[in-house]
Amino acid sequence: MHGTEGTIHIVKEAPDTRVKIDLQRFQQIITNLLTNALAAIPKEDGRIDVRLKQSEEKVFLWVEDNGKGISEKDKPFIFERFFRGENKKYKNRGLGIGLAFSKMLAHAMEGDLTLLESRPGRTVFCVCLPKSKGGSGS
């Protein structure tokens, strides 16, 4: 999928499976992660990869971008309400609640949102959600 500021590449690395989610909450999490990634990637050659993986009991959705990364100084605070890193304070609009709210939404669905890695050229967030007890299907 091509946007005005980069490319979104979706990779499905897992077979079809049922996931226990609230669709509106899930949409809010994904919208926040993609919006943040779009703000971080370079105007030219910007790329966002969305990967779906799974274990026996959980499904993992990775959102990876090739942007500037999160500073080491900011990493411990990114899930705190109203925190806005130095790179975002004056350049981006927002209240600094997106990641904190998204993490709360993931917890409400018995899952989690974590930062797996961030450095210049690569940031990876992971949404982890439980599989439905019903097994596989779409």
Structural domain total, the chain: 1
Looking at residue 84, what is its pLDDT? 59
Q: Hey, is 7 helix, strand or coil?
A: strand
Amino acid at 55: S
Higher-confidence residue: 112 or 71? 112
What's the pLDDT band for 90 if we cut at 50, 70, 90?
A: very low
Residue 1 included in any domain: no
Residue 103 included in any domain: yes
Q: Which stretch of 34-38, 109-113, 114-118 has the lowest confidence by average pLDDT?
A: 34-38
Residue 78 included in any domain: yes
Residue 37 included in any domain: yes
Over residues 24-59, the pLDDT tens digits come to 999 999 999 999 999 889 988 899 999 999 999 999
Higher-confidence residue: 64 or 92? 64
Residue 82 included in any domain: yes
- Give the domain CATH number at 14: 3.30.565.10
User: Range of 65's domain?
Assistant: 7-130
